[in-house]
Amino acid sequence: MRNMYIPGSDTWVYEMDNQVAGFISMIGNEIGGLFVLPGYHSQGIGSALVSFVSDFNKELEVEVFKKNRIGRSFYDKIGFNLKNDYFHEQSGERVLRLIK
């Protein structure tokens, strides 16, 4: 993440208890990375980060591995819909491209 997404993206962090609890990195209108520390899951941080970037992006897109049940559930819950489903050769996995 540090070498791949951060240098070519716009990144915002969510601080809680005087530490970084999560961050979102955007490449244009695409969520390149969205991470919340496990101890801060289910506290609305991921939703708050997506809501923040929604304020200045008409549409949002994200890719998530089809087998990533937690990620898929999160994006479903906050209103993302399936745009495309494809095989990612480099990882050997099915990937879902979602849009909101």
Supply the pLDDT for residue 78: 95
Supply the pLDDT for residue 17: 86
- Rounded CA-CA distance 82/66 in Å is 11
Q: For 30-82, how does the pLDDT look when each residue is reduced to its tens digit (9 = 90+)? A: 999 999 999 999 999 999 999 999 999 999 999 999 999 999 999 999 999 99
Total-model pTM:
0.86
Supply the pLDDT for residue 2: 60
**Structural domains in the chain plus CATH codes:** 10-99 (3.40.630.30)
- Rounded CA-CA distance 95/51 in Å is 23
Return the HEC string of the chain.
Answer: CCCCCCCCCEEEEEEECCEEEEEEEEECCEEEEEEECHHHCCCCHHHHHHHHHHCCCCCCEEEEECCCHHHHHHHHHCCCEEEEEEEECCCCEEEEEEEC
